[in-house]
Amino acid sequence: MKRILVIGAGRSATALIRYLLEHAAQYQWHVRVGDLDAELAKAKVAGFATASALYFNIEDQEQARLEIGQADLVISLLPARFHIKAAHVCLELQKDLFTASYISGEMKALAAEVSDRGLLFLNECGLDPGLDHMTAMAALDQVRSVPQAHIHSFKSYTGGLVAPESDNNPWHYKFTWNPRNVVLAGRQTAQFMRDGKYKYIPYHRLFTRLEEIEVDGYGKFEGYANRDSLQYRGLYGLQDIDTMIRGTLRRPGFSEAWNVFVQLGLTDDSYVLEGLASMTYRQFVNTFLYHHPSKSIEEKLCDYLNIPPDGVIMQKLSWLGIFKDENIGMTVGSPAQVLQHLLERKWGLAAHDKDMIVMQHQISYSAGSEQKDLLMSLVSLGDDQDQTAMAKTVGWPLAIAAKLRLTDQLQDSGVVVPVTPLYYKPILKELEQLGVQFIEQEY
Amino acid sequence: MKRILVIGAGRSATALIRYLLEHAAQYQWHVRVGDLDAELAKAKVAGFATASALYFNIEDQEQARLEIGQADLVISLLPARFHIKAAHVCLELQKDLFTASYISGEMKALAAEVSDRGLLFLNECGLDPGLDHMTAMAALDQVRSVPQAHIHSFKSYTGGLVAPESDNNPWHYKFTWNPRNVVLAGRQTAQFMRDGKYKYIPYHRLFTRLEEIEVDGYGKFEGYANRDSLQYRGLYGLQDIDTMIRGTLRRPGFSEAWNVFVQLGLTDDSYVLEGLASMTYRQFVNTFLYHHPSKSIEEKLCDYLNIPPDGVIMQKLSWLGIFKDENIGMTVGSPAQVLQHLLERKWGLAAHDKDMIVMQHQISYSAGSEQKDLLMSLVSLGDDQDQTAMAKTVGWPLAIAAKLRLTDQLQDSGVVVPVTPLYYKPILKELEQLGVQFIEQEY
């Protein structure tokens, strides 16, 4: 019997844990799920004999050693900053560690030791990062196998959105993952390449520089550039490419309205607001506008940001209630925290709502004298509130990788990211069987 | 004989050192000047028998102890982050320490120990911070002495500019202090109060929210809000004030052109540019603009930022040479470093150029049924390249404070900022004799 220790039983762990539990009898696994919220952990394994749940605190060294010591493989779904603590114990006790998070500098620094001991620390094996890498590399390797192929453009967009059947607000957006990360998204200069030229977009301009993306059967989206796309040239073997952009998807019209928050400074998380306890949403907005003896807050906003007073942007803002003279109900907070507080009331998923993951890779290449474009699109819809598209696309790649490792089908060691066929072939194959599938169009 | 140790002999130390040297014989001082550049230190004391110069490195604990141990008072003009190192040695060896820098959290933390030993660690005793505090408190205390006076508005603006006689470029600006600090100025949300309401301006909007200021005989200026003005309510005893703004002055038209750099992202210091070694200024600008198959860089810039193509903004930009296809001549750098590199070539002070300090406090108050406005303005012009207005207004307050302390006229202890009459009365009086004087207008 092999023991799998899953630490972190939050929202994104649901599909992962269910996959492991459903395969536990077949492969003789014991699935042990630990979380600071023991009840949550228990609920996730309820009804399965091959599983156990516990209160688990990664900061408790003694407990971490005991539990990791008894495991054959550790999967960490804790917030990213805690992975390194698990990593140190795993290294000491010679256990494999899998995560869905970006590989950190600290994690990279363990590479030689991890390799020496024949261990596998697999990172970035979720959705984004994860599925994006694997599908990109599958597509790129396919193109590279074409004689004389020269890839000159790679664009890739991903979005966590609400499913069309649950899309019933003017923003066409709901929170399907960590709201704080959504509010703070993009607060870093976007770096990419376009037609052989380096391009940089500072945060305050990001939501005005959009690309239109279309996905068959799902309509139009808009994409804004996402952090540092340049570093992926090395990871994907595209050092001499002319266009390299990774971006985030929203429904059309979202970004021009979100840009209002950015322009006002409502997404700033660097300081605490004065006088918040007695502040209304209307006063909150006015705090970021200039003083005027007679103009209304709506007039000042439209003048300041050059927005039509009766247009779709103001409709979106009004729908959120930011012009209401209603107490915010917080005592301490940054502008970003106030905005999040408001958005959570309006953008929360209802019980029956379903989410949707959309991913599209656009590859342009030449083969001899021919110019070709390859379009790969994926749409994954949530089943319900638990088996969300987000949970499935984050959790399944990790679960499949764990299965491969425990059944000796993943012979590798080191601190790695899944960008080679060793990973993407079996993982994408099984994801296809699970209904997570890219549609390929060449033209 | 009393010994004064001055550490840091850079540009802003010139007037301070000269003042001390000119008073050394009268008060029987020995002035010892230390710098990492021993030649610079030597040059600053050349010709004075009551002085000595040395290579001094604050990181060398042994040397710091030896030199500070022999001093009666230490004046640090090192970059602000090094003051705390001097402070620890001064505390141990029971010496007074004076600086012109903002008081740091680390420095504040020493308050109890400094008081217990009867020492005086005087901070923020230069121009800004320094002269601003002292003149503000002198004016505010004067108003407070009026029966029934209630102060409802305090605005204060300071600028380090070029003197009118040396003002010969379209920006009406030259570097009269640390260029790096000028390029990075304002990269923090401005916080202030206006008519009883808290106001916050994010950096990317700062240079569009200007106040017009006029100084008799020197014409018009524009002011933008400077960092956190709210904290000065406590320092100045203005807890229930309605309007509280501190700002930075430039000549009219500067900010709308500088805003182009902010909007493009050229003042970003958070990452290093790729491909810089072979980049021209024109390509540098294009790096921050969108791709377009046919428009020129100038057209793209004007469209992107909604700037008239033949207006004064484009004239200022062209004059700087940012559209020239001329190699930048740097191999590694952030956007802000590239911008600084360019500006230093165009905004440097010529040998005969003079600088100018402008400061204005605007106080509005009621006394019974009367509404009154008090305007206090100061203009200080540089004498030459050495005795700049900046060096005089930074160095003299510190030098005068040192003289007062060494002649037993400054009986105080603790980690302090000069906001009480004990400091501002004698210091402002002597500054007036030196020609640094506020003009007061009431109406």
* Contact check, Cβ <8 Å, B230/A274: yes
Judged by phi (left if over 0) then psi (alpha if -120 to 50, else beta), residue A174 lies in beta
Tell me, yes or no, if B280 comes closer than 8 A to chain A by beta carbon: no
- Whether the CB-CB separation of B269 and B180 falls below 8 Å is answered with no
- Encoding tokens for residue B380? 């200080």
- Whether the CB-CB separation of B78 and B8 falls below 8 Å is answered with yes
**What's the average model confidence in pLDDT over A341-365?**
96
Half-sphere exposure of residue B393: CA atoms within 13 angstroms, side-chain side:
32
Tell me, yes or no, if B204 comes closer than 8 A to chain A by beta carbon: yes
The per-residue pLDDT for B11 is 85
Nearest CA-CA partner of B160 in B217, B104, B226? B226
The per-residue pLDDT for A168 is 97
The per-residue pLDDT for B385 is 84
Write out the H or E segment, with its range, that includes residue A283.
Answer: helix A281-286
**What's the average model confidence in pLDDT over A344-360?**
95
Tell me, yes or no, if A194 comes closer than 8 A to chain B by beta carbon: yes
Q: How many CB pairs below 8 A link A and B?
A: 83
Write out the H or E segment, with its range, that includes residue B198.
Answer: strand B197-201
Contacts of B204 in chain A (CB under 8 A): 202, 204, 263
* Contact check, Cβ <8 Å, B205/A335: no
Q: Is the pTM of this model over 0.95?
A: no
- What is the residue type of A88? H
- Whether the CB-CB separation of A98 and A122 falls below 8 Å is answered with yes
Write out the H or E segment, with its range, that includes residue A211.
Answer: strand A210-215
Per-residue pLDDT band for A220 (boundaries 50, 70, 90) equals very high
Instruction: List pLDDT tens digits, range A258-295.
Output: 999 999 999 999 999 999 999 999 999 999 999 999 99
User: Residue B283: closest CA among chain A residues belongs to which residue?
Assistant: A197
Per-residue pLDDT band for A31 (boundaries 50, 70, 90) equals very high
Test mutation, A198, A282, A286, chain B, max B CBs within 10 A: A198
The per-residue pLDDT for B80 is 93
Judged by phi (left if over 0) then psi (alpha if -120 to 50, else beta), residue B422 lies in alpha
Distance CA A140, CA B117 (A): 71
**What's the average model confidence in pLDDT over A194-213?**
97
Peptide bond into B426 cis (omega under 30): no
Residue ranges for chain B with pLDDT beneath 50: none
Distance CA B70, CA B422 (A): 28
Distance CA A96, CA A84 (A): 13
Q: How many residues in total does chain B contain? A: 443
**What's the average model confidence in pLDDT over A73-85?**
96
β pairing state of B149-162 and B243-250: parallel
The per-residue pLDDT for B386 is 86
ipTM: 0.89
> A270 to chain B, minimum CA–CA distance in Å?
8
Would you list the DSSP string of A138-169?
HHHHHHHTSTTEEEEEEEEEEEEEE-GGG--S
Contacts of B268 in chain A (CB under 8 A): 189, 200, 202
Tell me, yes or no, if B293 comes closer than 8 A to chain A by beta carbon: no
The per-residue pLDDT for A385 is 84
Instruction: List pLDDT tens digits, range B271-317.
Output: 999 999 999 999 999 999 999 999 999 999 999 999 999 999 999 99
* Contact check, Cβ <8 Å, B189/A271: yes
> A74 to chain B, minimum CA–CA distance in Å?
35
Where do runs of H (alpha helix) occur along A54-157?
61-70, 83-93, 105-108, 111-116, 131-144
How much of chain A exceeds pLDDT 70, in percent? 100
Instruction: List pLDDT tens digits, range A156-182.
Output: 999 999 999 999 999 999 999 889 999
The per-residue pLDDT for A288 is 98
Distance CA B156, CA A121 (A): 57
- Encoding tokens for residue A118? 């024949």
* Contact check, Cβ <8 Å, B286/A195: no
Number of Cβ atoms within 10 Å of the Cβ of A60: 12
Instruction: List pLDDT tens digits, range A104-113.
Output: 999 999 999 9
- Whether the CB-CB separation of A129 and A135 falls below 8 Å is answered with no
* Contact check, Cβ <8 Å, B275/A198: yes
Instruction: List pLDDT tens digits, range B256-277.
Output: 999 999 999 999 999 999 999 9
How far lies A192's CA from each of A227, B231, B381, in Å?
8, 40, 47
The per-residue pLDDT for A177 is 86
The per-residue pLDDT for B73 is 98
Number of Cβ atoms within 10 Å of the Cβ of A304: 19
How much of chain A exceeds pLDDT 90, in percent? 96
The per-residue pLDDT for B26 is 96
User: Residue A306: closest CA among chain B residues belongs to which residue?
Assistant: B306
The per-residue pLDDT for A251 is 98
SS3 A14: helix
The per-residue pLDDT for A443 is 78
The per-residue pLDDT for A12 is 84
Tell me, yes or no, if A286 comes closer than 8 A to chain B by beta carbon: yes
B96-99, strands of its sheet edge to edge: B51-55, B29-35, B2-7, B73-76, B96-99, B120-122, B414-416
